Amino acid sequence: MAVLAEDFEVVPRLAQLGLRRDLLLDVIRAAVGGRRNATAFHPLSAGGLLSWIEGTAYLRRVFVPQGWEICRRDNIESIFHAEHGIKVILQNAERAGDPIFDPLAVSRKGAGSARAIELGQYEFWPDVRAKEIAEVTAPTWVLFVFANGDDVRAEISCPIAITDEQFDGFHERILLVEKGAWDKAEPFIDEDEPPAEYNVTVSRKV
């Protein structure tokens, strides 16, 4: 398994995937800010929910204008790029950005997530690939965001499988924020309209 952490590795690899580190860091800031916007009056789970909502919204806000599409297959909120043939979802994490230990999701992963990961394995086994990669078989990359106060860590990684409702092994991990490297971003409050008008493409739900 490849674990990329240095600038000279991370930046060009993200470019190959049609992603940019600066934009992913903005998404992470949105997710962290969403969590910080939860108050004592909110339900206990509000921090994680707001983090996922704001992070997913901002993921789409910045990448849809870059040629990505909104995807909701199996009720999994993601973005998909036809040319690069991959999906990206945002995931709150109990652990992320650690060069030694794999990321760990906060929530349990159900049948839909398991199916998305399983179908995405065709990209890594060309000899059994029956057709051109389409949205349904696109490898799924996960943007893991761990936030505990000012301790924020993140990575975008490609899982191999889901076992016992948790991600199990990774083809590749790209570390974006390691321990002690966060810039303590201010809370994100979405008060503005999208920076530019664009047509939003939503793939049908199956």
- State the pLDDT at residue 131: 36
Residue 16 has pLDDT above 90, yes or no: yes
- pLDDT tens figures, 59-93: 999 999 999 999 998 889 999 998 998 999 999 99
Residue 190 placed within a domain? no
Residue 114 placed within a domain? yes
What is the rounded CA–CA span in Å between residue 175 and residue 10? 8
Structural domain of residue 67, as residue ranges?
2-177
Counting residues of the chain whose pLDDT is more than 90, the rounded percentage is 62
Of residues 38 and 194, the one with the higher pLDDT is 38
Contacts of 84 (CB under 8 A, 6+ apart): 17, 18
pLDDT band at 166 (very low <50, low <70, confident <90, very high): confident
Strand 104-105 versus strand 86-95 pairing type: antiparallel
Residue 163 placed within a domain? yes
Backbone angles phi, psi at 38, to 5 degrees: -70, 140
- The answer to which of 15-29, 168-182, 190-204 has the lowest mean pLDDT is 190-204
Compute the radius of gyration of the chain from its Cα atoms. Answer: 16
- The answer to which of 9-13, 140-144, 198-202 has the lowest mean pLDDT is 198-202
Mean pLDDT, rounded, for 120-131: 49
38: amino acid identity, one letter = A
| Residue 62 near residue 198 (C-beta atoms within 8 A) | no
Residue 135 placed within a domain? yes
- The pLDDT mean for the chain works out to 83
Nearest to 51 by CA among 185, 183, 205: 185
- State the pLDDT at residue 136: 74
Q: Three-state SS across the chain?
A: CEEECCHHHHHHHHHHCCCCHHHHHHHHHHHHHHHHCCCCCCCCCHHHHHHHHHHHHHHHHHHHHHCCEEECHHHCCEEEECCCCEEEEEEEEEECCCCCCCCEECCCCCHHHHHHHHHHHHHHCHHHCCCCCCHHHCCEEEEEEEEECCEEEEEEEEEEEEECCEEEEEEEEEEEECCCCCCCCCCCCCCCCCCCCCCCCECCCC
Residue 72 placed within a domain? yes
Paired residues of 3 in beta bridges: 173
What is the rounded CA–CA span in Å between residue 36 and residue 141? 25
- State the pLDDT at residue 53: 97
Q: CB atoms < 10 A from the CB of 168, how many?
A: 15
Residue 125 has pLDDT above 50, yes or no: no
Number of domains composing the chain: 1
- State the pLDDT at residue 196: 44
Residue 204 placed within a domain? no
Nearest to 59 by CA among 82, 98, 27, 104: 27
Residue 16 placed within a domain? yes
- State the pLDDT at residue 74: 84
- pLDDT tens figures, 99-124: 999 999 886 654 455 555 665 555 55
Strand 78-81 versus strand 69-71 pairing type: antiparallel
- State the pLDDT at residue 30: 96
- pLDDT tens figures, 21-38: 999 999 999 999 999 999
pLDDT band at 164 (very low <50, low <70, confident <90, very high): confident
Residue 184 has pLDDT above 60, yes or no: no
